[in-house]
């Protein structure tokens, strides 16, 4: 029996080792593109159309650009495999740095220092082109489901690593809906933003037992937090998807004003 078990384990190991990687071809494309970027960095001074002084003088004072924002998404697809497939098809032109499956498996698909294609047309505070300054994290979810405990645990680990590695401010952990009001609604209203805030990733209000001043400007408060208020109703809905959740209408209620009044202090 022991010999049979040993044989079975050895056979399983050999099969696993020899199993083809269905993403081998796209992995080669990834590595080729990274090598092309590395080659570009080595080829300084670049031959430009303007006259370059000779000899070339390179500064000694520089560093790699680092991400300063984390954007959390839900995939709105049927499975993790479908999302991985989507992110490895050139015609989709979409990607994310991380994908987290329902069982907590984390796929780190793109180096943190490379620009992903996840944010789209977006704005947060005064910043646009958020793909160039952010990390994208996609969580396997059809858009309506509860996020699994394994997913949340893995997400907290990833966020902790990112915060430490790049010194990302607590306020700069947001959702896709936050940066694209009216265009995106993810992650859905089941997302545990309060739990994330308790762990230092984003903010949450402390109390609704506040007196809201008569001159309180809710739209200005949304703007201070970071929302694009060019369409006020869309900004209100994005705020409510994140911070209210039970009610995601485009109308500010008195209860919403209390949440805003308490919350905005943390962003000032």
Task: Read off the pLDDT of residues 100-154 as tens digits, 9 standing for 90 and up.
Answer: 999 999 999 999 999 999 999 999 999 999 999 999 999 999 999 999 999 999 9
The total of other beta-carbon atoms located within 10 Å of residue 170's CB is: 14
Q: Yes or no: say if 72 and 173 are a contact pair by the CB < 8 Å rule.
A: yes
pTM listed for this prediction:
0.89
User: Which among 236, 220, 186, 165 is positioned nearest to 83, based on CA atoms?
Assistant: 186
pLDDT attached to residue 48: 60
Residues annotated as catalytic are 138
Collapse the DSSP code of 204 into the 3-class scheme (helix H, G, I; strand E, B; otherwise coil) and give the result.
Answer: coil
pLDDT attached to residue 6: 43
d(CA 117, CA 259): 33
pLDDT attached to residue 43: 78
Collapse the DSSP code of 35 into the 3-class scheme (helix H, G, I; strand E, B; otherwise coil) and give the result.
Answer: helix
Q: Which residues of the chain fall below pLDDT 50?
A: 1-18
pLDDT attached to residue 101: 98
d(CA 247, CA 251): 9
Domain architecture of the chain: domains with CATH: 65-204 (3.40.80.10), 205-268 (no CATH)
Residue 7 tokens read as: 């044989």
């Amino acid at each position: 029996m022991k010999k049979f078990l040993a044989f079975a384990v050895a056979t399983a190991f050999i099969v696993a080792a020899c199993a083809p990687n269905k993403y081998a071809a796209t992995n080669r494309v990834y590595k080729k593109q990274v090598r092309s970027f590395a080659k570009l960095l080595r080829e300084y001074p670049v031959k430009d159309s303007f006259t370059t002084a000779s000899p070339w003088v390179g500064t000694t004072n520089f560093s790699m650009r680092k991400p300063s924002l984390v954007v959390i998404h839900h995939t709105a697809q049927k499975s993790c495999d479908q999302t991985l497939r989507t992110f490895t098809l050139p015609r989709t032109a979409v990607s994310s740095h991380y994908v987290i499956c329902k069982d907590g498996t984390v796929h780190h698909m793109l180096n943190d220092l490379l620009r992903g294609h996840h944010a789209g047309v977006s704005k947060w505070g005064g910043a646009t082109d958020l793909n160039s300054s952010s990390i994208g994290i996609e969580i396997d979810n059809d858009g309506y489901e509860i996020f699994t405990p394994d997913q949340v645990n893995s997400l907290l680990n990833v966020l902790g690593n990112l915060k430490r590695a790049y010194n990302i401010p607590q306020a700069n952990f947001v959702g896709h809906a936050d940066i694209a009001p009216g265009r995106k609604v993810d992650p859905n209203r089941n997302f545990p933003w309060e739990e994330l805030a308790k762990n230092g990733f984003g903010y949450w209000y402390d109390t609704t037992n506040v007196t809201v001043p008569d001159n309180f400007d809710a739209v200005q408060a949304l703007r201070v937090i970071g929302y694009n208020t060019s369409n006020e109703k869309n900004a209100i809905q994005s705020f409510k998807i994140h911070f209210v959740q039970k009610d995601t209408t485009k109308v500010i209620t008195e209860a919403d004003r209390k949440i805003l009044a308490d919350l905005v202090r943390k962003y000032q």
